[in-house]
Structure 1
Amino acid sequence: MTHRQYDSTGVASIYIEVRPSPPKDLIKSIINQLSQSVNPNPNGKWSRAVDVGCGSGQATFLLADYFDQVIGYDISEPQLQIANQRNQFNNVTFKISSGEGIPLEDNSVQLITVCEALHFFDIEKFNRKVDSLLNSGGLFVTIGYYPVPKLTQIDKPDLNLDHIGQSIDNLMQTWQEHGFPVKVFADMINTKYRCINLPFEKVCHEETFKTTSRRSADYIIDLINSLGTSEKFREKFPEKESSIMNQILNQLHDTFGTKDLSSIQLDVTFEYFIICFRK
């Protein structure tokens, strides 16, 4: 059963502002793998790509230059509303569906991608759907990044900020202990999905992709709030959530020596990996 984590309009609006998009060299690596087993059409593009668990289109739009048709599927209406608002491509569409129930004909897709979402799916059912949709030689690619980035303060590059990431990890552990499986999902990503069995031929596993953006330090709070469990935990345990977030906020004030977190500039780096499987 697909887990619902991002159905909230509030979370979706934060998500688009703070979550990264995969770097372009990552997409080029995927396309290079695809070209080794499936030839493009005479126009230089492949016919169809599907991005499952597409969210607000972070990875979906990056496929537009390589395919005649790109379809992003997600179960969150708020995420898809934002994706449609951002869409500037005639060959990209977004539709509601679970990963296990995509309503396309068999053998009609050359590339299926899942970015930062595979851990939410019923893997056995999803594997069957992938197998039915892909053409012979087509690729299934899972893309991931650990949701806690590396932080570097611009004017103090030698300052160790690892304790901030540890606080976010501890918060996810607290969510886990209160019935929300987010830490289990994060651990799946951290181990590069080695705990998930996929019945396809693995043709690549790369971990060399990074994306860095300049952010103010209050981004850290927004990043936490972009995790779907954050809002669900707040609704069920408001006092505990308030206490934990105040502790994290005080930690940030102490670390940066100011309560004005918007005045502190950080480089925020997410490290991506891809695993490519060929049918």
Structure 2
Amino acid sequence: MLAPSSKYFNRDDVVKIYQQHRPQYNKDVSDKIMEFVRKHHNSEEPYDLAVDVGCGSGQATSLFASHFREVIGIDCSHRQIEEAKLGNKFLNISFLVGDAEALPFKDKSIDLIFTAAAAHWFNLPKFLNEASRILKPDGCMGLFSYCFPKVGRSLKDAESQKIDDAIMWNHVWKHISPNPPTEPMLKYANIFKNIKAKHKERNDEVKIKYTWTLEQIVGLIKSYSWYGAYLDMKMKSVERNSPNAIDGLSQAFKQSMGVEHLQDSDVHLEIEWEIFIVLATGLNHTGQNE
């Protein structure tokens, strides 16, 4: 991850929030990527080496532990890497500090490069140059992410969802929506277009869904770099002493549900993300800046 995001994600308070409140990807994500790898790779599992670039605190790294002899997570935030090491339970997974644009691996040595909610922070031409350099001739790349989640008391109930969408818009999205990275909003459409490869494809079929508490949902919002940008702008404005945008989120949900007496940790909502995955093999990026 690059500045300015790395500055936000390197803060001690944000590192803890990130680890606790970012969603865990389900097996469907790794299944889609490994299906692509098996189709295009010349050898059989377990493959030698996979690299999780922009790994953060390791939310997605472990998904691939059973498919590779070694998985390495790399991130430019030393605090995120410290947190990833603390939470690591796999002998074949390790973590190191490094940049997506200068990956510390030998030419043609990697079977799979993957990134989870990170590629939009990279200098894309330089990252793709590096991916082309270090991937084996039959090596593969999988870039996946998500955008705004859908939140509601029952995502299948259209009437209540209208109310819940309005609450999220008024207390969250309209305040931070001027600041989100463009590519997640476009589901990596531009990234996909700019990849030069023998074969590339995308998959938008995977969803991850949980039942979370209001406390968890507020923590998730605070983990976004978008929220950090909102706070920075607010501190420079005439409204710097006013309440933060999300301060009224919990109360608005509880009033709407008639449960004002409950703590945030006792109020449960459904939350769902649509995952988009960009897949490629036979990368052909050789220029330094393109």
Match of 2:278 in 1: 275
Q: Relative to structure 1, is the Cα distance of residues 241 and 8 closer, same or farther in structure 2, using a 3 angstrom cutoff?
A: farther
Return the alpha-carbon distance in structure 2 between the equivalents of residues 272 and 164 of structure 1.
Answer: 23
Aligned-partner SS, 2:96: strand
Given the alignment, which residue of 6, 11, 14 partners 1:8?
A: 11
Q: Distance in 1 between matches of 2:244 and 2:96?
A: 39
Task: Verify the 8 A CA contact 2:21 2:217 in the aligned structure 1.
Answer: no
**How many Å apart are 1:227 and its aligned residue?**
1.1
Of 147, 153, 174, which aligns to 1:170? 174
Aligned residue runs from structure 1 range 32-71, under 5 A: 32-41=35-44, 44-71=45-72
Q: Deviations over 1:212-236 (max 9, x none)?
A: 2221123232111111343464366
The secondary structure found in structure 2 opposite 1:119 is helix
Aligned-pair Cα RMSD in Å: 2.3
Distance, in Å, in 2 between the alignment partners of 1:248 and 1:217 is 9
1:203 deviates by 3.0
Q: CA deviation at 1:151?
A: 1.9
Q: What is residue 152 of structure 2 aligned with on the other side?
A: 152
CA distance in 2, matches of 1:108, 1:240: 53
Q: Which residue of 1 aligns with 2:23?
A: 20
The residue matched to 2:52 in structure 1 has which SS? Answer: strand
Residue 39 of structure 1 contacts residue 46 of structure 1 at CA under 8 Å; is this kept in 2?
Answer: no
Look up the match of 1:191: 186
Segments of 5+ residues of structure 1 without an aligned counterpart are 177-181
**In 2, distance between residues paired with 1:56 and 1:132?**
26
**TM-score, normalised via structure 2 length:** 0.84
Q: How far has the Cα of 1:86 moved from its partner?
A: 1.1
Aligned match for 2:221, one of 217, 220, 224: 224
**Secondary structure, counterpart of 1:99 in structure 2:** coil
Tell me the equivalent position of 2:73: 72
Q: Do the aligned partners of 1:154 and 1:267 also contact (CA within 8 Å) in 2?
A: yes
Unaligned ranges ≥5, structure 2: 283-290
Question: Counterpart of 2:288?
Answer: none
Distance in 2, matches of 1:162 and 1:232, equals: 22
Letter in 2 for 1:32: E
Tell me, yes or no, if the aligned pair for 1:110 and 1:138 is still in contact at 8 Å: yes
Contact 1:11 1:231 in 2 (8 A): no
> 1:202·1:275 contact (CA, 8 Å) conserved in 2?
no
- Provide the rounded CA distance (Å) in 1 between the counterparts of 2:155 and 2:123: 45
> For the Cα contact (< 8 Å) 2:203–2:276, is it kept in 1?
yes
- 2:109–2:135 Cα contact (<8 Å) kept: yes
SS of equivalent to 2:90: coil
SS in 1 for 2:40: coil
- 1:256 touches 1:264 (CA, 8 Å); kept in 2? no
Partners of 1:270 and 1:207 in 2: how far apart? Answer: 11
Q: CA deviation at 1:200?
A: 2.2
Moved more, 211-220 or 243-252: 243-252
CA distance in 1, matches of 2:242, 2:92: 42
| Residue 189 (structure 1) shift | 0.9
